[in-house]
Amino acid sequence: MARYTGPKVRLSRRVGVPIADIPKHTAKRQLTPPGMHGYRGRRMRDYGIRLNEKQKLRYHYGMLEYQFRLLVDESKRRKGNTGEVLMTLLERRLDNVVRRTGVVRTVWASRQMVVHGHVLVNGKKVDRPSYRLEVGDKITFRPKIQKLVRDNMESIVGHIVPDWIEFTPADLSARIATLPVAEQVPFDVNTNLIVEFYR
């Protein structure tokens, strides 16, 4: 299946939570189910609850099902709590780290910035949004995009950069200080239900 290119607010309405932290998604009236009157069917069964929780996380990170499934399988193979390992792997994606620094509003904007080659990791251009960052990696931006980045930062007032990212606004650089933990993710999701969905 190809990448979803339709209206993004529809995704928020489908899962019942804002998947992006922008007014269009967080407005109360937008959280009704999609369609003219909204779907008022039967309550969801166990499978539907787990599916909805998985879709929340997938939409929040802007991933395809195949990519997401691979990450779930990898997190099962690693030591530790599968749900916490999954969140750590998702947070370390390059497009997500660019979003968390506050230079763009949404994961779709950060993905575009990465794909167009405006993001450098340790001085080298990386145009893969799924690139996984390690502790100590440094992110910078190409000179021709820096004016746009500064304008974006001025429009996003009050953004809080997570503790695991060291962001320097003066030279527009970010460094991965430590590995993120599940408690530092600013998106409420039940990872246990997601792990159960893939059993």
The pLDDT score that the predictor gives to residue 37 is 67
d(CA 30, CA 19): 12
Residue 1 domain-assigned (yes or no) = no
Long-range CB contacts for residues 118-126, cutoff 8 Å, separation at least 24: 118/142, 118/144, 118/145, 119/94, 121/94, 126/94
Mean pLDDT of the chain: 87
Total domains in the chain come to: 2
**pLDDT tens digit string along 71-93?**
999 999 999 999 999 999 999 99
pLDDT tens digits, residue range 157-186? 778 888 999 999 889 999 999 998 888 888
Whether residue 170 sits in one domain with residue 97: yes
For residues 22 and 51, state if they share a domain.
yes
Residue 118 belongs to domain with CATH number: 3.10.290.10
Look up the domain containing 136 and give its range. Answer: 93-178
pLDDT above 70 covers a percentage of the chain that reads 91
pLDDT at 138: 94
Q: The CATH number of the domain where 44 resides is what?
A: 1.10.1050.10
Q: pTM here?
A: 0.87
Residues of the chain scoring pLDDT < 50 = none
